[in-house]
């Protein structure tokens, strides 16, 4: 999954300016951290003051500081050379990453010997979270361990595609020196899924709606038979004669499943917006819309097991039948961004349609008009209007909040939209439910 993006990233990292490459290489082998550099500068100041004032105490302190820094740097470099063959690898990430939810990534320095007493293996992870069209957040996290296991905690603020890079070093527990291992950086591309969301009101779905469909047996496991003793009324062709001869009594073969009717609901995710730069409002509105859609699917499925879904996006159709299918849809929706079109057009109009969209959807009114007699349930995000009152039901969405890893959004996070309400949608067969969103940086 990550091989192609990793190859592209590695190619893009090659600077056409050799002086920059030399500077990066020198910085990579520089043995002191920011704190260690300050400590070194302080030791140099003490040494200069000692020579100027002929103060033996200051000279002794400066010499001791320089000796400690030199010993830590030298020992760290020796350990880094000793671990030259150690490979940093991503562990098996069984749990997916969700926006606004703390999640874990496993790093492993396979075969790394235990570092010396005052040292730890240290991994620095940097990443770029693509949150929209030309909208990204830079992420940085660090983790230390005395063993080869390096568990990392991340809390992405939005969903999208996360490209991460990890670099391994040996670092002392005082945070003064670091020695990078000569191995290559390890890269990976992950899909950050939309944040879990609870429906604020239970969706009212009539069990009679939807199109009839037939659920077929989906795997060989469902087509297996089980055996029981013969009972009067069983058909002769259902008798398993081979098993009966071995058991000494009649054994009947019974099929555990049969085909039955289900209800198919048609759902559209309209991630459409006129072309233009991303803003804080556009990114957070689309993020919330994805979570709202997934929460709707899970709530309907929990109350009506017989329902299945056909989810239509600007990139195609997705058949959703089980909870695992909803999880797979969440993975696919994570990197989905706004698109100016073309809009999806179905040949046959369903009897009932559930549309999820935002106030940025300029073509919504025309789309609903084309649906004719189709019963439309419209779920739309809009901008919360000031002032805020006690009974206000707005949803507050801050982009940045206290998290284990620091984040740095780009200039797009400073751009704001005017209050987005969207076109008025009316009709006897149209039911509209809106979520007023109040977005902000924090």
Whether the CB-CB separation of 394 and 256 falls below 8 Å is answered with no
Give the pLDDT score at 214: 44
Which tens digits make up the pLDDT trace of 77-135?
Answer: 999 999 988 888 887 655 788 998 888 888 888 888 999 989 999 999 999 999 999 89
Query: Which pLDDT value is given to residue 348?
Result: 66
Q: Each residue of 295-319: pLDDT tens digit?
A: 999 999 988 888 899 999 988 899 9
CA distance 132 to 114: 42
Q: Is the pLDDT of residue 29 over 90?
A: no
Contact between 339 and 358 under an 8 Å Cβ cutoff? The reply is no
Share of the chain above pLDDT 70, in %: 80
More confident residue, 111 or 23: 111
CA distances from 282 to 24, 135, 251, 378, 397 (A): 37, 10, 65, 19, 12
DSSP conformational letter for 347: S
Could you give the domains of the chain? 3-193 (2.60.40.10), 218-258 (no CATH), 261-440 (3.40.50)
Q: Does the pLDDT of residue 13 top 50, yes or no?
A: no
Q: Which of 129-143, 191-205, 368-382 has the lowest mean pLDDT?
A: 191-205
* Exposed e or buried b per residue across 319-338, where buried means at least 16 C-beta atoms within 10 angstroms of its C-beta: ebeeeebbeebbbebbbbbb
- Token duo for residue 258: 């049969």
> β-pairing, 260-269 with 307-313?
parallel
Its sign, for the CA torsion 367, 370, 371, 376, is positive
> Which pLDDT band holds residue 209 (cuts at 50, 70, 90)?
low
pLDDT at 248: 75
pLDDT of residue 346: 59
Is the separation of the CB atoms in 279 and 416 below 8 Å?
A: yes
Q: How confident is the model at residue 260 (pLDDT cuts 50, 70, 90)?
A: very low
Q: Which residues contact 421 (CB under 8 A, 6 or more apart)?
A: 359, 382, 383, 385
- Max mean pLDDT range (89-93, 205-209, 217-221): 89-93
pLDDT tier at 220, thresholds 50, 70, 90: very low
The least confident of 221-230, 274-283, 329-338 is: 221-230
Higher local confidence (pLDDT), 425 or 6: 425
Percent of the chain with pLDDT over 90: 40
Pick from 228, 233, 266: nearest CA to 247: 228
Choice among 121-135, 160-174, 213-227, 324-338 with the minimum mean pLDDT: 213-227
pTM, two decimal places: 0.78
Residue 225's pLDDT is: 54
What is the average per-residue pLDDT within 28-50? 91
Beta strands in 328-409 (DSSP E): 352-358, 375-383, 395-398, 407-409
Per-residue model confidence (pLDDT) at position 69: 94
Average pLDDT over residues 43-60: 90
pLDDT tens, 384-393? 887 776 667 8
Average pLDDT over residues 402-423: 79
């Amino acid at each position: 999954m990550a091989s192609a993006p990793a190859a592209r990233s590695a190619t893009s990292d090659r600077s056409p300016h050799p002086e920059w490459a030399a500077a990066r290489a020198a910085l990579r082998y520089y043995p002191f951290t920011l704190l260690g550099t300050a400590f070194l500068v302080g030791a140099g100041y003490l040494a200069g003051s000692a020579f100027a004032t002929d103060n033996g105490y200051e000279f002794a302190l400066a010499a001791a500081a320089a000796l400690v820094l030199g010993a830590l740097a030298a020992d760290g470099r020796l350990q880094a050379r000793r671990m030259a063959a150690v490979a940093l690898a991503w562990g098996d990430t069984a749990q997916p990453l969700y926006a606004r939810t703390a999640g874990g990534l496993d790093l492993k320095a396979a075969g790394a010997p235990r570092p010396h007493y005052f040292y730890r293996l240290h991994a620095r992870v940097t990443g770029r979270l693509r949150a929209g069209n030309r909208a990204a957040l830079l992420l940085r996290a660090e983790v230390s361990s005395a063993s080869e296991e390096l568990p990392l905690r991340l809390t992405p603020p939005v969903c999208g595609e996360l490209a991460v890079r990890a670099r391994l070093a040996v670092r002392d527990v005082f945070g003064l020196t670091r020695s990078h291992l000569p191995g290559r950086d390890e890269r990976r591309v992950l899909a950050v899924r939309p944040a879990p969301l609870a429906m604020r009101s239970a969706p009212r779905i009539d069990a009679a709606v939807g199109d009839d469909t037939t659920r077929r047996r989906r795997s060989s496991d469902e087509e297996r038979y089980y055996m029981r003793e013969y009972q009067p009324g069983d058909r002769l062709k259902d008798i398993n004669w081979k098993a009966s001869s071995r058991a000494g009594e009649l054994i009947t073969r019974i099929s555990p499943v049969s085909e039955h009717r289900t209800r198919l609901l048609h759902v559209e995710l309209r991630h459409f917006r006129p072309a233009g730069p991303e803003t804080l409002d556009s990114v957070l509105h689309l993020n919330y819309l994805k979570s709202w859609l997934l929460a709707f699917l899970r709530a309907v499925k929990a109350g009506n097991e017989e329902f299945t879904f056909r989810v239509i996006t600007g990139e195609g159709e997705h058949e959703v039948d089980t909870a695992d299918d909803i999880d797979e849809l969440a993975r696919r929706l994570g990197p989905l961004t706004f698109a100016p079109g073309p809009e999806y057009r179905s040949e046959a109009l369903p009897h009932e349609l559930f549309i999820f969209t935002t106030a940025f959807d300029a073509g919504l009114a025309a789309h609903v008009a084309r649906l004719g007699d189709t019963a439309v349930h419209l779920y739309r995000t809009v901008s919360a209007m000031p002032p805020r009152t006690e009974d206000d039901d707005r949803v507050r969405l801050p982009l940045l909040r206290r998290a284990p890893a620091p984040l740095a959004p780009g200039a797009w996070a400073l751009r704001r939209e005017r209050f987005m309400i969207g076109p008025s949608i009316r009709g006897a067969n149209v039911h509209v439910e809106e979520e007023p969103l109040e977005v902000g940086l924090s």
